[in-house]
Structure 1
Amino acid sequence: MSVEGWRTILVLGGIRSGKSEFAESLVADEANVRYVATSTLGEDDPEWAERISAHRHRRPEAWTTEEVGADPTRLTELVSAAGPDETLLVDDLGGWVSALLTGEATTAIVDLAGALGDCRAQVVVVSPEVGLSLVPTTDLGRAFADTIGIANQAVAAACDAVVLVVAGQPTWLKNTVAKPREEPLPEVLTPTVAEPPTVVEPTPKVVETPANGVEPATGDALTAPTMALPMVATGLVIQPGMDLPMPDEHAGPSASTRLATLDVAGAGLGALERVVTFAAATQGTGSPVPWRSVRVLLLQGDHDGGAAAGTTPGESARRADLARAGEGALARLAAEAGASLQVVEAPTAAPMELGPALAADAVESALRQGWRLAEQAADSGVDIIVLAACGAGTEAAAAAVLAATAGAEPAAVLGRVIAPGGRVNDTAWMLRCAAVRDAVHRTRHSSRGAKEVLAELGGGDIAVATGVLLGATARRTPVLIDGPVGVAAGLVSRDLAGQARHWCLLPDHGGHPAVKLAADVLGLEPLLNLRLDLGEGATALAALPLLRAALTLGAGLPAHPTLASDSA
């Protein structure tokens, strides 16, 4: 089955649209499939009988068949009685509705929808979509069209997912599918600063809300227009050239024009104007509002071998535990920003100088995990994601990705290794350089495709980060990046979906050579130059209050009186 964690799905389509074939493909991998045929044999119609025969020959021999054409009430009975280990394929509602036209169709439709809502089995229902055709010229034709339309609406409301098949191509109209078959995502934490006995929490100054303040847009993230939801909903492999959404190209310039009229004493927001135009484009409005719901995704995935030279064993796990406990720089900054924190364990990467860092199937799984993390954040109302990482060897892995995707010289993008206390460890730096050099040489004839780069060099944390960027792009959710893992994921994501980089914001490069080069390649100009080095993700959180302040001013300040009168 290509839909993860599915239970009930309605497959709509016109005549010869490929809807039946698509529905059959959905259950092809299920062990216990019962095919429910709703049409009669059609003894008086040889062509119809031939169609039914073709359907029968197409079904696997292991499937069992139930005929309900002579007694349409049996369909609801079969759905109600099906157990959790069964799969039903109902093909199709058109035949079922035809048999109901002589009886009480409305009651039967209501009963079927109720049975689907309560069903413990997996059910795929096929039905003709007749709403796009002309109104039938006969009484019977109009009765059928009206009844199948009512049935489709009732069944669609009861099903977890609805797909329309046109010319063999599925377009998903609804997706509320849960994913019970996936491994559970990490717990989302809301960290608080641990018992600061001598620190008094600051009390914000109360100010009057401007009369023309802009409230944030509301809406259901699942219903937001996107071409990516069908991809994850159907379980299709994340692949190069995906068509994901772009930010609104008109909202940014509109916001910039509005900023030029603000009633401020000075020249304006300076470099922070780009925060407002970025937020405008990603929010789709010329008057963007501050990000209020922030999710920090802390990726903890180590890299074995020379990439981790100079790191203390177990250090990344200690950092992750601190974050879970609400301690450490990242958790404290997250608490100060009112952000939720999610610690994500990524697969450990093998020594890249000796062989692939990650198996191909593990890359696929990591990409999907990252995508799901972004989806979960969007579903919970998060309006911006902060990408953080604390794995051992991440800088060397990012340098290898830069070498493979941007032609970088490893030694030029590997920052110096600083031990606790500020001591420089040049021996460890040379070991890291050697590991990256050997890995790049080992893969010199390998494909430079995104998944190949992740498998050979990038490893688990960069693969998960790439999935996060893609999933966030699909859900029109911006991402703050500020370290090697984030920018490496940005470089890899270009091959999969070039739109992803346009949803990324780089508050500060932190003086890191890999981040500076990757940002240049990605076209991401840092907003600040604080040169903080608090760990990946911490710089973004430290800058977040300033970014929010720029958005608050941009959204809340009125136009200068002279400009307002001119515009009037």
Structure 2
Amino acid sequence: MSGLNLDDFTSLIERPDSGARRDAQDWRAGREPRPDSLGRLDDLGEWLASAQGSVPAKPIAQPKVVLFAGDHGIAAAGVSARPAGDALRLAKAALAGESATAVLARRFGAGLRVVDMGLDCEASELPEDVTKHKVRRGCGRIDDEDALTAEEAEAAFLAGMAVADEEADSGTDLVVLGDISVGGTTPAGVIVAALCGTDASVVTGRGGSGIDDLAWMRKCAAIRDALRRARKVLGDQLELLGAVGGADLTAMTGFLLQCAVRRTPVILDGAVASAAALVGQRVAFRAPDWWLAGSVSGEPSQEKALDRIALDAVLDQGVTAGEGVGAMLTLPLVQAAAELWAELPAAPEGAAGADEGAEAVGSVDDIT
């Protein structure tokens, strides 16, 4: 289908520093409070130390929320409570600092970037730095046509890689990845169902818009019809994304894989990012070690994808809004873990907790 060789990612992506992970565990064993007493914060600190290759872990200096935006033709089938084309309004709200994600980004000291990959609007309606990677207006209705042409799919994937490089080059040291779309959980459901070999009903949820029963049935039918087409191209991940994904989802997949190449850790938000991550795992099996699942979205496709990738969401707060909101709530926990692991005090010599911790960590080399 394309001159882009996704197999190259298998050799380009390495796992986070296992030596740093072992050193981090040894370092933590000699700190207060006792090892494992900080619960998930200890896990996050260890993950960060490994991703950074630094012991102790370094505080997060430059987090960034990156939201890929696109319209989906399938929204015209009534699969969302939001009207088709409403993604442009949502993108403008985020850029104006008026969305929930923008509010949280300000509160937690994170930058916010919106990338228009396929909004159904003229490029002139948004700032140039938002639209410079735009592939097309909207995408095909995936129940009976491809979302993208082969050329558009390659362009979207390469654009996602370029955005990852831009962020890494600018000093971004942690990304919160989300989407701005209407109907985006429908192609996400198709991709997850296709890659997991399951039925449409298993991956069909209510979406962030909270659809009613009739809309749920329309969504389920759309996923079922798109699945028939998706199963014919399972052997080519880029072709799959072009057939039933969309410009935003395709770009997110390229972004995630290139972030892993550039050793940039990513927090995933929602079903769309999780579907992109599932495709990314199929491309390069080491890549998920660089990703963290932020929050449970309530979408069964997200749950199915994360289970297949073997990632456990950090939070379950009932957040279904999408647009990075759930993952943003994870950011302060990761920031707290980084600060703690940078400055935890040494345990007093001979302290019972320190001795027990050191003994517990003594055999960690055998399991990492």
- Take 1:563 and 1:515, find their aligned partners in 2: how far apart are those partners? 46
Partner in structure 2 of residue 413 of structure 1: 203
1:549–1:353 CA distance, 2 compared to 1 (3 A): same
Give CA deviations for 1:265-314 in whole Å, capped at 9, x if unaligned.
79621122221121111101231122120111111111112374432233
The answer to which of 471-480 and 403-412 deviates more is 403-412
Shift of residue 418 of structure 1?
6.3
- Take 2:141 and 2:7, find their aligned partners in 1: how far apart are those partners? 26
Give CA deviations for 1:541-563 in whole Å, capped at 9, x if unaligned.
12211221122112201221035
Give identity over the alignment, percent: 35
Q: How many residues align?
A: 330
1:307–1:237 CA distance, 2 compared to 1 (3 A): farther
**TM superposition score normalised by structure 1:** 0.55
Greater helix percent: which structure?
A: 2
Partner of 2:64: helix, strand, or coil?
strand
Partner in structure 1 of residue 264 of structure 2: 477
Structure 1 residue 368 corresponds to structure 2 residue 368? no
1:373–1:445 CA distance, 2 compared to 1 (3 A): closer
Of 106, 114, 131, the residue aligned with 1:335 is 106
- Take 2:237 and 2:350, find their aligned partners in 1: how far apart are those partners? 50
Partner in structure 1 of residue 23 of structure 2: 254
- Take 2:31 and 2:327, find their aligned partners in 1: how far apart are those partners? 26
Structure 1 residue 394 corresponds to structure 2 residue 181? no
Partner in structure 2 of residue 274 of structure 1: 43
Give CA deviations for 1:452-472 in whole Å, capped at 9, x if unaligned.
210111111110101111111
Partner in structure 2 of residue 518 of structure 1: 305
Partner in structure 1 of residue 89 of structure 2: 318
Shift of residue 507 of structure 1?
2.2
- Take 2:177 and 2:79, find their aligned partners in 1: how far apart are those partners? 21
The answer to which of 379-388 and 440-449 deviates more is 440-449
Contact 1:389 1:485 in 2 (8 A): yes
Give CA deviations for 1:307-360 in whole Å, capped at 9, x if unaligned.
744322332111100111111101111111211111111132211111111111
Asked which structure has the greater CA Rg, the reply is 1
Which structure 1 residue ranges, 5 or more long, are not aligned? 1-235
Of 398, 403, 419, the residue aligned with 2:193 is 403
Partner in structure 2 of residue 454 of structure 1: 241
Of 469, 491, 495, the residue aligned with 2:278 is 491
Partner of 2:18: helix, strand, or coil?
coil
Q: Which runs of structure 2 are paired with 1:154-553 in the superposition (5 Å)?
A: 237-242=4-9, 243=11, 244-264=13-33, 268-305=37-74, 306=77, 308-347=79-118, 348-417=138-207, 419=209, 424-553=211-340
RMSD: 2.2
- Take 2:17 and 2:298, find their aligned partners in 1: how far apart are those partners? 31
Shift of residue 238 of structure 1?
4.1
1:260–1:510 CA distance, 2 compared to 1 (3 A): farther
The answer to which of 358-367 and 496-505 deviates more is 496-505
1:388–1:264 CA distance, 2 compared to 1 (3 A): same
The answer to which of 379-388 and 541-550 deviates more is 541-550
- Take 1:516 and 1:461, find their aligned partners in 2: how far apart are those partners? 20
Partner in structure 2 of residue 31 of structure 1: none
Partner of 1:391: helix, strand, or coil?
strand
- Take 1:500 and 1:533, find their aligned partners in 2: how far apart are those partners? 26
Partner in structure 1 of residue 135 of structure 2: none
1:300–1:418 CA distance, 2 compared to 1 (3 A): closer
1:447–1:516 CA distance, 2 compared to 1 (3 A): closer
The answer to which of 256-265 and 491-500 deviates more is 256-265
The code of the aligned residue for 2:271 comes to P
- Take 2:294 and 2:208, find their aligned partners in 1: how far apart are those partners? 23
Which structure 2 residue ranges, 5 or more long, are not aligned? 119-137, 359-368
Contact 1:480 1:507 in 2 (8 A): yes
Contact 2:140 2:146 in 1 (8 A): yes
Shift of residue 444 of structure 1?
3.4
The code of the aligned residue for 1:239 comes to L
Shift of residue 394 of structure 1?
0.8
Contact 2:175 2:264 in 1 (8 A): yes
Partner of 2:332: helix, strand, or coil?
helix
Structure of higher RCO (CA pairs closer than 8 Å, 6+ residues apart): 2
Partner in structure 2 of residue 557 of structure 1: 344
Partner in structure 2 of residue 220 of structure 1: none
- Take 1:252 and 1:530, find their aligned partners in 2: how far apart are those partners? 29
1:505–1:435 CA distance, 2 compared to 1 (3 A): same
